Amino acid sequence: MMMKKQIIAGTLGVMLAAGALTACSETDKPNNNAENGAITINNCGVETTFNTHPKKTVSMGVTGLAYLFAAGAQDSIIGRANEWGEEPPAWIGSKADSIDVLSNESISMEALLKLEPDLAYGGGFSSENSSPEAVAAKGIPAIVDAPECSYFYPDQPENESFDAILAEVTQLGKLMDTSDKADATVADLKAQLEQVSSEKIGKGRKVSYAYYYGEDPELFSYGNQGVVGEINKTLNLETAIDPNYHPHQGPIAPEAFVKSDPDVIIVLTGMGGATKESSLERLAKIPGYNDMKAVKNGNIIYAESAAAYASPTAIHGALDLAKQLKELGK
């Protein structure tokens, strides 16, 4: 059990209390203290109490950016950090262009402190220079979005469900004083997901994911771990890859990918700047790739790599993949 800590951050008076750690889930809701107007967020078993709604936020990674936009809190963002060469999600597009990119890789603590933010938020914290604990220790409130807690706090359970993602948008809206926008976003995405799920678009077809990082030669994929499993379930797709495989375990052997021989291949692009064209070129060099069922039938569809991260972009990605799957059926 971690010891209780108290940190004063500027005029916010932020208290971080990591006591008996509680699970990150849709049940973790802001606690508004009526007496002093304080707002307490409990994510990853860490309580963060704000005396005012944050106004100067640094988004950590493309997931942090996605949550802040989904919650209608984009006007609070003073900079984007730790996006690792990825572009803003397609559903955000050019709306993020006016926000300064502070770093493509791990932002330095010095650069972060210079901005004097009243919140660093998202799943792009780094174990190198800007871990959540290190940032909080410098007096900057640091919140990891709940669905990504287990990546930073190993004692936290994994929960990358769409319900957890939408609950995080709701909670963030309350913290940022943008609940009207956040609640509207959640209602809209829920309705679209329910419609897509009821259509059973994938019709039980087998799927294999493929992606590369930048220009690196190693091939990665997904089974049913993480939010990709939620995408597969929503689209009624069955994984042709080992369901327990996750890219964090390392690259997949090219021959194993070929052997999976799915009905559909989903190519994820954008990780480390990897393009659709460069990804397809590398795939085509794998012995046996051109003989795969999905390749011969032209059943290759695409999603941005951020669709595989537990954020609103995963939901937008699932909805876009549903449209592409419908086109394959014509």
- Tens place of pLDDT for every residue, the chain, 330 residues? 222 223 223 323 333 333 322 333 333 556 654 345 789 999 999 999 999 999 999 999 999 999 999 999 999 999 999 998 788 999 999 999 999 999 878 899 999 999 999 999 999 998 777 899 999 999 999 999 999 999 999 999 999 999 999 999 999 999 999 999 999 999 999 999 999 999 999 988 999 999 999 999 999 999 999 999 999 999 999 999 999 999 989 999 999 999 999 999 999 999 888 999 999 999 999 999 999 999 999 999 999 999 999 999 999 999 999 999 999 965
Task: Name the H helices within the chain.
Answer: 61-70, 109-115, 132-137, 149-152, 162-176, 179-199, 227-235, 254-260, 276-284, 293-296, 312-328
Whether residue 98 sits in one domain with residue 170:
yes
Alpha-carbon dihedral angle through residues 89, 92, 96, 97, given to the nearest 10 degrees? 80
Residue 8 placed within a domain: no
pTM as predicted: 0.89
**Helix (H) or strand (E) run with residue 48 in it:** strand 46-50
Same domain membership, residue 226 and residue 185: no
Residue 152 shares a structural domain with residue 39: yes
N residues, the chain: 330
Q: Which of 95, 154, 148 is nearest to 312 (CA)?
A: 148
In this structure, are 174 and 237 located in the same domain?
A: no
> What is the three-class DSSP state of 14?
coil
Q: Which two tokens stand for residue 52?
A: 């005012």
Q: Could you tell me if 19 and 155 lie in one domain?
A: yes
| Cβ-contact 274, 211 below 8 angstroms | yes
Do 207 and 179 lie in a common domain?
no
Q: Is residue 10 part of a domain?
A: no
* Pair 273, 231 in one domain: yes
Q: What is the CATH number of the domain that holds 252?
A: 3.40.50.1980
**Structural domain of residue 306, as residue ranges?**
200-328
Residues 316, 245 share a domain: yes
My answer on whether 25 and 157 are in the same domain is yes
Domain annotation covers residue 4: no
Q: 6 CB contacts (<8 Å, ≥6 apart)?
A: 15, 16, 17
Which of 159, 189, 219 represents a domain boundary (last residue)? 189
The verdict on residue 195 lying in a domain is no
User: CA 165, 171, 177, 181 torsion: positive or negative?
Assistant: positive
CA 203 to chain centre: 26
Domain-terminating residue out of 167, 189, 211: 189
Count how many domains the chain has. Answer: 2
